[in-house]
């Protein structure tokens, strides 16, 4: 299957400019970047795509065997980069896609000019023995996944506004709810386990490309301690705390998000 069709790859922006690849998180698609893309297009070649199983990707390409771990998604990211043939790219991974970027950069560092890890979490589960706070106890995650299995649409309606934050702007939570509800429940159940049960803490030290860790000032899913942990474990990384709140700054604060991405990408040329 053609990679660009499989992942609904779209390329816009300034031809010959530094290449920025934007990767969405769980329950979303490339539409989540729509407010950031027009800002970046002025100076960069901008690539957006849908993970298989999301948005307008080829759903026939999805299989539980390939996408029951991050490895299948990482292979897709690298295949998209090779197919673009635009040289090293700055990969911007939101939420779970941040760890896809980490694993891809460890596997093929030559493909990347830089990484931007937006609201990243290498492990959502607390690990008291290692003095690590991921934001959720193991029991919390079990309850979350059981609720998702029992009633995915109900779970989406309850969880999406919590994830989005910004309760004074209910339209943002409604948008994320609608995005979740467009996802096939079977695919969402598998991807949720990949998202919330993966532990990539040990992989961070293997990153050898310039990296920006961009966290939000208040984020229910990825508290500040997580961003600090990621920054401390990736050699030479930079950490920026956005004034944006919630887990989706590309929707809640697109100008601030785009400015942080552009400033970092300009330094990796």
CA 179 to chain centre: 15
For residue 247, indicate whether it is catalytic: yes
The sign of the dihedral angle between the CA atoms of 132, 134, 136, 138 is negative
For residue 95 the two structure tokens come to 């939420």
Asked if 14 and 39 touch (Cβ cutoff 8 Å), the reply is no
| Catalytic (active site) residue 219 | yes
- Catalytic-labelled residue, pool 95, 97, 198, 237: 95
Q: Which of 50, 76, 203, 219 is catalytic?
A: 219
Helix (H, G, I), strand (E, B) or coil at 217: strand
Q: Is-catalytic flag, 51? A: no
Scanning 108-248, the segments in alpha helix (DSSP H) are 138-150, 152-164, 170-182, 185-197, 224-233
What number of CA atoms fall less than 13 Å from residue 13's CA on the CB side?
A: 23
Active site residues: 95, 219, 247
């Amino acid at each position: 299957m053609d990679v660009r069709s499989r992942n609904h790859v779209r390329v816009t922006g300034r031809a010959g400019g530094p290449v920025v690849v934007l990767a969405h998180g769980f329950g979303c698609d490339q539409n989540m970047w729509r407010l950031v893309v027009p800002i970046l297009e002025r100076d960069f070649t901008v690539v957006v795509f849908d993970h298989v199983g999301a948005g307008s990707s080829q759903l026939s390409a999805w299989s539980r065997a390939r996408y029951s771990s991050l490895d299948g998604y990482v292979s897709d990211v690298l295949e998209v980069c090779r197919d673009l043939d635009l040289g090293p790219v700055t990969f911007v991974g939101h939420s779970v896609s941040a760890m896809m970027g980490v694993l891809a950069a460890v596997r093929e560092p030559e493909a990347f000019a830089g990484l931007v890890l937006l609201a990243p979490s290498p492990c959502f589960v607390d690990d008291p023995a290692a003095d690590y706070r991921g934001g959720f106890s193991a029991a919390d995650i079990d309850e979350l996944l059981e609720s998702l299995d029992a009633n995915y649409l109900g779970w989406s309606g309850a969880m999406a506004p919590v994830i989005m934050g910004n309760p004074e702007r209910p339209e943002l939570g409604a948008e994320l709810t609608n995005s979740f509800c467009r996802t096939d429940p079977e695919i969402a159940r598998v991807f949720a386990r990949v998202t919330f049960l993966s532990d990539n803490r040990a992989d961070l030290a293997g990153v050898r490309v310039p990296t920006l860790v961009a966290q939000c000032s208040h984020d229910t899913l990825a508290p500040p301690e997580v961003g600090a942990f990621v920054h401390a474990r990736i050699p030479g990384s930079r950490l920026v705390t956005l004034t944006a709140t919630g887990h989706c700054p590309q929707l809640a604060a697109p100008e601030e998000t785009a400015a942080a991405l552009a400033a970092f990408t300009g330094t990796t040329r």
